[in-house]
């Protein structure tokens, strides 16, 4: 009995397929992905295509694709057909429906979500079946994307994060002899203007299926609109397609700005690219080099892909003045690089916290704390690897002021001392702790408090940057990622530099 039939048998032929051997499915897919990585490194594109077809036609791949789209955050969001797979029977039936022959994707359901600048971002929502088909083909495309991707591209990639991008910024900007100028780049409407022709000619995936996705169109106000360019924000495979379209810029810059000779001395131009999705920075030795050499090269690279830089968001800045990148501010003070939470990011966070407090004017203290804690903890954890202690303290003070006003409004006829004793308590070394008695007791009889999480309680610790060549689909790097996950989980960072691929 082969692997695929054994998995079907493992479900006992149950109509709902809830007894599938998921670890075995994952092992089968990982083995195929590892073979794709090996064939890609060797340049055996015929072998790559054959392995991709094997994966996208496998039961394991289809099962994992359906599992992904029925367990993520959008599992209850339907496409234009209004269908969601919420029952075991529907999920089992969906696995068998993922066939290439006769497949025709439906148009996307267009919705708009607000952006930070007040504008609206268009979001295309595919049907459940189209999402599953994209997830299936993504299983076969991601190993190639990770193998060929730029070393210092960090957005929408397995095992990489904004913290890795910021650490790379620190590496190329922190020393005295590092580049003093930065080109802040932003691509205008990246997902909306990607060239279909370029993607169809260059992305190593099933071209016919990709063409159908790109040309499916979208429905807005019951009207069908064609799509002549771009890949929809909201599609599972879209971030990887965008990344692969932008990959190659790092190598282009390395070739163009390799070591140069000045008499008997050779020197590097300190041109480095750090990219997170469509946001990127490029360091340079002078403003002139960035303006007259780097920028034209980047613009031509993007033009070939149907893209262009955003004039209002692209600028060249000296590191002494500082710049914002991924919600954090990077600036040199007397020659020392400090990375702090940006003022804009902090303002947005505080406005969100204030809104929660204002909309819970009549809620209990327990309800308010449970709504605030995830927001505060998430924001503080995002900034915990940079110079954020002062900002955390200031944020806690502003939060205290908002909570004091919330408490005083609830009891206008009570004294400040009474309000303080009701809502704030001495717990441990903190005398002003916004907390509520849950009614539970420890075995020793002590009160179990539900406490507000203060940003300043978050420990500042350096983030261990991922190695640029690390590939989560390459078996040679498997031990590295396992060790890294262990270190990240338990907050042990001092040995990270010693982790090497097996």
Q: What is the DSSP string of 241-308?
A: HHHHHHTTHHHHHHHHT--EEETTEEE----EEEEETTEEEEEESSHHHIIIIIHHHHHHHHHTTT--
The more confidently predicted of residues 203 and 2 is 203
Tell me: pLDDT of 12 over 50: no
The reported pLDDT for the residue numbered 261 is 57
Please state the rounded mean pLDDT for residues 136-164.
96
Specify the pLDDT at position 447.
Answer: 87
Tokens linked to 273: 């690219």
Q: What is the pLDDT of residue 113?
A: 82
Residue 4: per-residue pLDDT:
52
Cα(436)–Cα(368) distance, integer angstroms? 10
SS3 191: helix
pLDDT in tens, 304-321: 999 999 988 899 999 999
Comparison of pLDDT for 368 and 2, the residue scoring more? 368
Burial class (CB in 10 A: 0-12, 13-18, 19+), 26: middle
User: Is the torsion defined by CA of 231, 232, 233, 238 positive or negative?
Assistant: negative
The label of the residue with tokens 């960090």 reads 154
Tens of pLDDT, residues 163-194 = 999 999 999 999 888 999 999 999 988 888 99
> 1 falls in which pLDDT band (50, 70, 90)?
very low
**290, 316 contact by CB (below 8 A):** yes
Report the mean per-residue pLDDT for the chain: 90
Q: What is the pLDDT of residue 327?
A: 96
**pLDDT reading at 499 higher than 70:** no
Q: What is the pLDDT of residues 271-297, one digit of tens each?
A: 999 999 999 999 999 999 999 999 999
Kindly give, in sequence order, each residue whose CB lies less than 8 Å from that of residue 101, ignoring residues fewer than 6 positions away: none
């Amino acid at each position: 009995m082969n692997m695929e039939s054994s998995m079907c048998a493992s479900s006992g032929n149950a109509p709902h397929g809830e007894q599938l051997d998921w670890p075995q499915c994952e092992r089968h897919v990982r083995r195929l992905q590892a073979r794709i990585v090996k064939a890609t490194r060797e340049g055996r594109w015929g072998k790559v295509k054959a392995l991709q077809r094997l994966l996208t036609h496998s039961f394991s791949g289809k099962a994992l694709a359906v599992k992904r789209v029925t367990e993520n955050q959008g599992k209850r969001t339907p496409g234009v057909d209004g269908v969601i797979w919420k029952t075991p029977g529907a999920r089992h039936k969906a696995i068998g429906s993922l066939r290439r022959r006769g497949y025709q994707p439906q148009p996307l359901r267009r919705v708009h979500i607000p952006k930070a600048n007040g504008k609206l971002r268009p979001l295309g929502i595919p049907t459940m079946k189209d999402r599953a088909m994209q997830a299936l083909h993504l299983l076969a495309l991601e190993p190639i994307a990770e193998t060929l991707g730029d070393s210092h591209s960090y957005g929408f990639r397995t095992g990489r994060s904004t913290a890795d991008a910021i650490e790379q910024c620190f590496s190329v900007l922190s020393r005295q002899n590092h580049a003093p100028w930065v080109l802040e780049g932003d691509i205008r409407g990246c997902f909306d203007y990607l060239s279909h022709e370029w993607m169809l000619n260059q992305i190593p995936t099933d071209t016919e299926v990709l063409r159908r996705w790109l040309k499916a169109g979208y429905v807005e106000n019951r009207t069908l609109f064609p799509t002549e360019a771009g890949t929809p924000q909201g599609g599972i495979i879209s971030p990887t397609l965008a990344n692969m379209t932008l990959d190659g810029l790092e190598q282009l810059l390395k070739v163009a700005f390799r070591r140069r000779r000045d008499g008997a001395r050779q020197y590097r131009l300190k041109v480095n690219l750090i990219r997170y999705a469509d946001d990127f920075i490029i360091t340079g030795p002078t403003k002139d080099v960035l303006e007259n050499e780097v920028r034209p090269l980047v613009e031509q690279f993007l033009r070939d892909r149907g893209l262009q830089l955003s004039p209002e968001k692209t600028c060249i800045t000296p590191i002494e003045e500082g710049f914002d990148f991924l919600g954090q501010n990077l600036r040199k003070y007397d020659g020392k690089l400090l990375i702090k939470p940006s003022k804009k990011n902090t303002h947005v966070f505080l406005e969100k916290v204030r809104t929660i407090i204002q909309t819970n004017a009549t809620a209990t203290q327990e309800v308010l704390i449970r709504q605030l804690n995830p927001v505060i903890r998430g924001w503080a954890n995002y900034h915990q690897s940079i110079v954020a202690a002062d900002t955390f303290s200031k944020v806690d003070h502003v939060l205290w002021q908002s909570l004091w006003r919330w408490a005083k409004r609830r009891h206008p006829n009570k004294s400040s001392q009474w309000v303080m004793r009701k809502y704030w308590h001495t717990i441990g070394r903190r005398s002003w702790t916004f907390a509520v008695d849950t009614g539970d007791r420890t075995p020793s009889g002590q009160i179990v408090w539900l406490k507000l999480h203060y940003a300043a309680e978050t420990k500042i610790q350096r983030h261990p940057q991922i190695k640029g060549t690390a590939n989560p689909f390459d078996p040679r790097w498997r031990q590295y990622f396992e060790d890294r996950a262990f270190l990240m989980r338990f907050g042990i960072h001092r040995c990270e530099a010693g982790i090497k691929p097996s």
